[in-house]
């Protein structure tokens, strides 16, 4: 079974600075998808960024980018020019591509605080 680990329960960053959230996963599969989700306080969880394992190029969405290291099974999220609205819980998630694929595996989350 796949597992997802986020080793940083809490992190903080100064407004306008850059922060990197860590995620590692364990799988024996070669084809899969990885996601970062953001859950602001008392608000809906939304998708931040998505990475396909067969693509070597790291995904980027505006101020959010990932560092995907397939061999190391590492999938970190970099937030540049941090804003107060980035304060949230961030979850890393894995989705298999080799079976029917309904199931997602989530990490425990990292709570990010943004300091003004």
Partner 1 sequence: DVKVTQSSRYLVKRTGEKVFLECVQDMDHENMFWYRQDPGLGLRLIYFSYDVKMKEKGDIPEGYSVSREKKERFSLILESASTNQTSMYLCAHSGDRMGQPQHFGDGTRLSIL
Q: Is 11 in the site for partner 1 (CB under 8 A)?
A: no
- Contact between 107 and partner 1 by CB under 8 A: the answer reads yes
Give residue for tokens 């943004």.
Answer: 114
Q: Is 57 in the site for partner 1 (CB under 8 A)?
A: no
Q: Does 95 bind partner 1 (CB under 8 A)?
A: yes
Q: Which two tokens stand for residue 62?
A: 């505006």
DSSP symbol at 38: E
Dihedral sign, CA of 3, 44, 41, 19?
Answer: positive
Smallest distance from partner 1 to CB 12, Å: 18
Spell out the residues 6+ positions from residue 71 whose beta carbon is closer than 8 angstroms to its own.
Answer: none
Q: For partner 1, what does the binding mask look like between residues 16 and 35, x meaning CB under 8 A?
A: -----------------x-x
Q: What is the pairing mode between strands 32-39 and 60-61?
A: unpaired
Q: Which of 28, 41, 44, 57 binds partner 1 (CB under 8 A)?
A: 44
For partner 1, which residue of 46, 62, 81, 84 counts as binding (CB under 8 A)?
Answer: 46
Distance (Å, whole) CA 41 – CA 43: 5
Chain residues binding partner 1 by CB under 8 A are: 9, 33, 35, 37, 43-47, 50, 52, 91, 93, 95, 97, 100-104, 106-109
């Amino acid at each position: 079974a796949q597992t997802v680990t986020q080793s940083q329960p809490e992190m903080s960053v100064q407004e306008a600075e850059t922060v990197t959230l860590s995620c590692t996963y364990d799988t024996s599969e070669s084809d899969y998808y990885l996601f970062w989700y953001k859950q602001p306080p008392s608000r809906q969880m939304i998708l931040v960024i998505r990475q396909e394992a067969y693509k070597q190029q790291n995904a980027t969405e505006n101020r959010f980018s990932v560092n995907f290291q397939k061999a190391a099974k590492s999938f970190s999220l970099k937030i540049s020019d941090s804003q107060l609205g980035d304060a949230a819980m961030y979850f890393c998630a894995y989705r298999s591509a080799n079976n029917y694929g309904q199931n997602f595996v989530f990490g425990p989350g990292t709570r990010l605080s943004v300091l003004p």
